[in-house]
Amino acid sequence: MPLQTVEPQRLYRQIAEQLRQAIASGEFAVGARLPAERDLAKLLGVSRPSVREALIALEVEAVIEVRTGSGIYVLAPRAKKAESADADTDAPPEWGPLELMRARELVEGEVAALAARHAKKADVQAMGGALQQMRDEVGAGQEPRLGDEAFHAAIARACGNEVLRDTVRGYWRARCGPLFERLGDHFDTVPSWNAAIAEHAAVLDAVRARDADAARETMRRHLKKAHARYSGSWPAAKKGVR
């Protein structure tokens, strides 16, 4: 089955389904290497980040395996598990990780600006504590996931808007989903987390200074850089810090 152009507004699930169907039809046999991410994006008429989200979804489903520095390979099909009638309604939303980060850039930039205007002393102390927790986690050879979440939660709590606070909570629920976990397995490294810590520190400095414009800009810059780190070339990626 020839690959077809995907409309730009469609999400990673539609891209993944096309690839899944191509594999099922035998266009890509078990053990075969798929075209490179750049070539798939051109064939499908979509961006490379959208293709990456689709590939991560297929890897989570054990349809393919991404071998860093080698390529993307088709796996033998596995028996499907029967779906439970009692589905987990609290499961994280299956948003594309890179798409989610673009949304965070827009929303959390404004959240940070509001936090700079409204943060109380206790809020700033909570941000500082979360930043130190990130440093401690990296120092212990761990991903600073808890400190990272605590930092963004403290920013959201300080903004003074419960709707925005709940929105940020929703982002972090999605951040705990299997797609983000697998993306982190490929791209999270000690240097990337140290870069993130420095970016968080810049946000905290702006909030402390009550500089809303700087808080907005530093938060947006952090999330843009995080997006760029997850969009890097596969050969450059190494396993996470665990």
Q: Looking at the domain assignment, is residue 102 inside a domain? A: yes
184 lies in the same domain as 226: yes
Residue 174 has what pLDDT? Answer: 87
Do 142 and 226 fall into the same domain? yes
Examine the domain organization and report whether 69 and 123 are in the same domain. Answer: no
User: 200, 134 in Cβ contact below 8 A?
Assistant: yes
CATH of residue 109? 1.20.120.530
Give 11's Cβ-side CA count (13 Å radius).
Answer: 9
Q: Are 110 and 203 in the same domain?
A: yes
Question: 154 and 122 in one domain?
Answer: yes
Count CB neighbours of 157 within 10 A. 19
Count of domains for the chain: 2
pLDDT one digit per residue (tens) for the chain, 242 residues = 667 665 544 568 889 999 999 999 999 999 999 999 899 999 988 888 889 999 999 999 999 998 877 889 999 987 665 554 454 545 556 788 888 999 999 999 999 999 999 999 999 999 999 999 999 999 999 999 999 999 999 999 999 999 999 999 999 998 888 888 888 888 889 999 999 999 999 999 999 999 999 999 999 999 999 999 988 776 444 443 33
Residues 16, 117 within the same domain: no
Please list the residues that pair with 74 across neighbouring strands: 64
Q: What is the CATH number of the domain that holds 55?
A: 1.10.10.10
pLDDT at 240: 37
What is the value of pTM for the model shown?
A: 0.80
48 and 102 share a domain? no
Q: Which residues span the domain enclosing 60?
A: 12-74
Identify whether residues 162 and 58 lie together within a single domain. no
Q: Is residue 219 part of a domain?
A: yes
Give the up-direction half-sphere exposure of residue 202: CA atoms within 13 A in the CB hemisphere.
17
CA–CA gap between residue 161 and residue 163 (Å, rounded): 6
**115 and 20: one domain?**
no
Interhelix angle 190-208/145-158, nearest 10 degrees: 20
- 115 plus 224 within the same structural domain: yes
